[in-house]
Chain A
Amino acid sequence: MSDVVLSVHNLSKSFSGLKAVNDISFDLRKEEIMGLIGPNGSGKSTTFNLISGILPADTGSVKVYGTEVIHSPPHKINSLGLSRTFQNTRLWRELTVLENLLIAPKKQIGASILNAFNPWQYKKQEEELIEKAYTILKLLEIDHMAENYASELSGGQSKLVDIGRLLMSDANILMLDEPVAGVAGPLTEKIFQMLKKLRNELSLTIVIIEHNMDFILRKGIDHVVVMANGTEILNGTPEDVRKSQDVIDAYLGE
């Protein structure tokens, strides 16, 4: 069990009577890619919010690298190496694309108020980060937009910047909430291949929420959790999901 990086047990959250997330449990091993699917309103994004600390959970436990984080604020959870994106691409709109990417990295020297008075101290690190940011932007094919404001981007481009921001953050566990919604087909494939490659090379662990079934039910995904009405109805491989009658019922109704 030592290679379990993220373990969720009996996680529950209700919004004034409505059980949004009900008793969710799953383990995530190192270097796994997990898909989290389910119909609209089944509690996928709420689960993400609970794990990353944006919403306080009612009951349950979330362990990141064996550390209990259920009552921790988001920035503490992030410092353990877990980063996430948001469903409705929340970029910092009045900042440029490059600045969006440059906020994400951890352990920036110039991010403390005292060091901000000494530009020479953070100059070198800043140059390295800018180089890295441009490289990521080039990979995502949006380097020509680097100096535009984030509010000037299209929906698909925003998604790409969101992924770029996540890659900048040096996290070991990436949680992507609908990463390729609105992104053109060929680039979708490219992004998935890139995530896979990064997973192999940097030993990342990735959780993906996605409505696009072709994106999730493929060879690269190690296991899939299917949610419906806040409960977990299946935890298995993509093959299991294809065969399961429960999943088909959940998606198509009775």
Chain B
Amino acid sequence: MNIVNEVKIFVKTLVAAFKEFFAKSKDKIEYVVPDHPSRIREAVPWLFMILFYISYPFKLFKHMYNGFVDVIVSETLYRFPKGRHEKALQDRIFVVGMLIIFVLVLLQPAAQGQKLFTISFLIFLICYYTIMATGLNLQTGTTGIVNFGVIFFVGIGMITSGVLSRRGLDIFGITIIMDPISAMIVGMIISGGIGYLLAYPGLKLRTDYFAIITIALGEFLKRLLLAEPTFQTKRSSTFSIGLNNIPGAFEGVFSIEYTFVLAILGVLFVIIVTFISHLLISSPYGRVLRGIREDEEVVSSYGYDIFKYKASVLAVGGAIFAMAGSLWVWKVGNVFPNTIAVIITFYVWAAFIIGGKGNPKGMILGASVIAITQYSVNNLSNISATERGSTFLGPLDVIFRFITVDIGGTIFGNSTWMNSFASEELTVIDQNFLQLLIVGFLIIVFLRYMPDGILPELPYTPKSKSEGHFEDQELLIEKMKQHTQASKDITKKSKEEKPQKEEEL
């Protein structure tokens, strides 16, 4: 019996030990699991669903779907990388791209009651980048003037807006204060004028040296804002650095969220600016600009004054940049030296590269990629699910948290890489670094696999109604006779003028 008892005790202790062991391990598991246990589990089905929706139309059921949107989307995605150079497909890519952007904008999570603000601000940001990218597209994409001073022109727009609509400009004892729209127009004129003047050094300097000048100008403006009292908000006795409390256009006119008004204004500006740049690029004027990009010496030997063209395009681009600057000032209401940051120039350049140089529509897509990336990273790491009053995580939320916390936090957390895998607490990556990381990654991918961007430049080749109408030389020569009449007149004139001059002498 002793033996039986002992066995019983042994089994009991064994069971107790197992119980204790499992209990301890259970505690341990609870301790290991981070605050968001369902994060990855929730992300996986979303990822699969998105992958499925992307892949099925143009792989499995491509020929079976006849629905309008399905055909357009699947056809476009199916032919996307190679068919980008066709005009017909470019329009479709643009439509599909805008649809995707629309969905991504709507999916942005927002704190309770902030949905309208979030969406409006994202649209505003897209418009802000699109306007700047369009200006850069005219100067760099079409004319080949390398401009790294986007923020310089934008800064002129910001400061002019701030000074004229808030602080007031003192001239001869009179203080000039304007409404925001007039201030924007004055800013555009000033910025355009400075762009025109920049053509003087631009004509003599090689492309890269001109680019260095433009970078320096941005820094120069930043220093000027630090030191010059004209650009500082007036207080009773002292001056503070920067301008603040700048009023926005139509601020307080409508009883709706002001950012929403600005988003509509931004969309209006984008439509105007894109239309203008399309008109310019597709005209004979734009053709000469593209000729200058390729070989300006030959263009000048065909009778075009390079200076005129470069100066005009720098002026138009400068005015467009200033417009973006005013729009930004209306939103944030202040200009500080740190607002004029060189990094904005490079975000615009990234939008320009991703969108496709020389294509006005591509600028909208490229700017959207940059703006959505930038905004999502901030927005998704700032607003947690509970703040939104719901434990349900949105699809973007899940994906971005997976990137920022699980991957980004492990690699870029504030501990060393050796600690980061072992540590149980994962730190969220610094948002600014993640923005730079994603944008840099996008630039590398696009330069490697699509150097001409999502929508490459289209050749402007209008077709003749009567293609090759003249079969023989006789008719051609007759045709050419008509065209040379003008230049023959010059010859006659110079011949007539010459004897007169000799008589005068």
Contact = CB atoms under 8 A, between A and B. Distances in A.
Interface of B is mostly: helix
Contact of B284 (A78, A122, A139): A122
Nearest to A204: B484
B60 interface: no
Given A54-B301, A83-B301, A197 B473 contact: yes
A94 B290 CA distance: 8
B481 A201 contact: yes
A90 B295 contact: yes
Contacts of B293: 94
A170 B486 contact: yes
Nearest to A2: B495
Nearest to B305: A75
Nearest to A150: B294
A143 interface: yes
Nearest to A86: B298
Interface residues of A, number: 72
Nearest to B309: A113
A99 B298 contact: no
Interface stretch (B160-168, B259-267, B411-419, B461-469): B461-469
Contacts of B316: 113
A111 interface: yes
A74 B498 contact: no
A65 interface: yes
Contact of B468 (A74, A81, A126, A134): A134
Contact of B303 (A75, A133, A172, A202): A75
A198 interface: yes
Contacts of A5: 491
A110 B301 contact: no
How many B residues are at the interface, by size bracket? 35 or more
Interface of A: 2, 5, 52-54, 65-67, 73-75, 78-81, 83-84, 86, 90-96, 98-99, 102-113, 115-117, 119, 122, 126-128, 130-139, 143, 146-147, 149, 165, 167, 169-172, 194, 197-198, 201-202
A198 B477 contact: yes
A52 B298 CA distance: 11
B291 A103 contact: yes
A79 B297 CA distance: 15
B102 interface: no
Contact of B464 (A84, A130, A149): A130
B274 to A, nearest CB: 14
Contacts of A95: 287, 290-291, 294, 459
Interface in B442-492: 457, 459-471, 473, 475-477, 479-481, 483-484, 486-488, 490-491
